Amino acid sequence: MPLNDSFLHSLRAIVGDDRLLTLAEDLVPYSFDGTAALKGRPGAVVFPLTTDEVSACVRVAAEALVPIITRGSGTGLSGGSVPSPDALVICLVRMDRILHVDAENLTMRVQAGAVTVKIDEAASKHGLLYPPDPGSMRISTIGGNVAENSGGLRGLKYGVTRDYVMSLEVVLADGRITRFGSACVKDVAGYSMKDLFVGSEGTLGIVTEVLLRLVPKPAARRTMLALFDTMEAAASTVSAIIAAKIIPCTLEFLDRTTAGCVEDYAKVGLPTDCEAVLLMETDGHPAAVTDEAALMADIARQQGAREVRTAKDDAEAARLAAARRNAFSALARRRPTTILEDVTVPRTELATMVTFIAQIARHYDLQVGTFGHMGDGNLHPTFLTDERDEAEMARVHHALNDIVTKTLELGGTITGEHGVGLAKKPWLRQQMGDHSYELMREVKRALDPKGLLNPGKIFD
């Protein structure tokens, strides 16, 4: 049902004419996020500038029973910010200020629409680092990162977004403004509500402000590429490095298809004639970096690496990491539709999983490019297909089902860092089990009794 005039009038009273979109030409570009083949045209989009404006918009939507989809830059990979038809999109990209860097307490306070890379740049000016670096960091917003609990290339050593959230300002489903967490390193007062909201995918509240933890910038780093003739050898190298009690900052993996597409785009000198490439990086004290880099190179060779190359300087290292961040999008060079998976398994199961994915692709006669954060056990097998080919899409669905089933058998999870959203919804109950699944729905009902916040995401 299209949004009625009195509702739009109320929104206009809050944000004014120029921050409310209702024209078809304005709404079509808000019908999707970074996920393939999912779309839904919203009824209106608003751009609040303050938490109070967000709260006021939520109040009128709650009264009119209009569903709300919170959105940042729309780079999500599970359909988390794809609107339900005629919903209200609250887009936070104009709440993008970095409010305060506290270099003494190693924290930074930012609005939800602040762009991830700007946060890291602001930290860098003070000799600090904001570690989570999702592939879309040049445009993704911190609010979206918090909502999806995003990971990144440095996750292996530094963890994910959750590990850097100290406190949150949240607008609840009825418009109340709340704060959870504090600026203290230790804080066990009450339930850890902030942790409930991190990764809640916009279904429990709207994050408007975040207090982030920062860490000192490492003094040195070294980036290497190891080239392998089999994917299994790359996977066993990762297991061997972990087993040798080294925690590198990055252990990223690209298969031949992915490396080819990335090199096509970025021209950074990635090899395209080997079955697997590992991007390995260690950072920290210069002496430790030297030791660890040598050890990792040795292990890679012992596991059968054809060659281990070292980036000659920081600029080359940065180019390699940037190229890797574009892997998913670069895969779209091959076929019109790219269906991306995010399965994660315990690291000892990596070789099994990688082999299984290759078998499944052959079995269903599908093209697949696999890459991912191998050090985290987090793989992104990506099916290269065409959404207009129904028969092939049906085979893709079967393949996804088999991969998920295998992942769960191996003790893994259906999503390591992209969130459930719409894309992974069909498999959540299978992973969680009935009791846990129902408990989550009870939490949702308690916080959003009218079911207006990002309805239909995670579960129905």
Partner 1 sequence: MADVTLKTIDYAVLQQCMHCGMCLPTCPTYDATKLERNSPRGRIALMRAVADGELEVGKTFADEMSYCLGCLACQTACPAGVQYATLFETARADIERSGVNQSVSRDFWRTLTLRILFQRPSLLRAAGAGLRVYQRTGLEALVRRTGLTRLLPPSLRRVEPQAPPIAAKFSNALIRPVEQATGEARFRVALLTGCVQDLVFSDINRDTADALLANGCTVETPPVQPCCGSLHAHNGETDLAKALARRMIDLFPPHAYDAIISNAGGCGSHLRHYGPLLADDPAYRDRAHAWDRKLKDVHEWLIQIGARPPKASPFDAPLSLTYHDSCHLVHGQKISTQPRELLRMIPGVTLTELPEASWCCGSAGVYTITQPDQATKLQERKTAHIIATKATCVATANPGCHLQVARGLDAAGSTIEVTHPVSLLARAYRREQ
User: Which positions touch partner 1 (CB under 8 A)?
Assistant: 21, 23-26, 28-34, 36, 47, 73-75, 93-94, 115, 136, 138-140, 262, 264-266, 326-333, 336-338, 386-388
The letter for the amino acid at 193 is M
The letter for the amino acid at 34 is G
Residue 384 Cβ, how far from partner 1 at the closest point, in Å?
11
Residues written for the chain: 460
Task: Find the helix or strand (DSSP H, E) in which 164 lies.
Answer: none
Q: Within 10 Å of residue 386's Cβ, how many Cβ atoms?
A: 12
Considering beta carbons, is residue 149 or 385 the nearer one to partner 1? 385
Residue 318 Cβ, how far from partner 1 at the closest point, in Å?
16
Q: Within 10 Å of residue 137's Cβ, how many Cβ atoms?
A: 22
Residue 185 Cβ, how far from partner 1 at the closest point, in Å?
33
The letter for the amino acid at 454 is N
Write out the two tokens for 46.
């608003």
Residue 315 Cβ, how far from partner 1 at the closest point, in Å?
13
Write out the two tokens for 117.
């890379």
Considering beta carbons, is residue 140 or 413 the nearer one to partner 1? 140
Considering beta carbons, is residue 104 or 313 the nearer one to partner 1? 313
Interatomic CA distance for residues 389 and 366, integer angstroms:
12
Is the separation of the CB atoms in 88 and 206 below 8 Å? no
Residue 333 Cβ, how far from partner 1 at the closest point, in Å?
5
Residues 6+ apart with CB under 8 A from 320: 223, 225, 268, 270, 279, 311
Q: Nearest CA to 448 among 256, 197, 257?
A: 197
Residue 348 Cβ, how far from partner 1 at the closest point, in Å?
32
Considering beta carbons, is residue 94 or 309 the nearer one to partner 1? 94
The letter for the amino acid at 353 is M
Considering beta carbons, is residue 24 or 391 the nearer one to partner 1? 24
The letter for the amino acid at 460 is D
Helices (H), 326-367: 327-331, 350-363
Considering beta carbons, is residue 39 or 450 the nearer one to partner 1? 39
Residue 39 Cβ, how far from partner 1 at the closest point, in Å?
9
Considering beta carbons, is residue 73 or 237 the nearer one to partner 1? 73
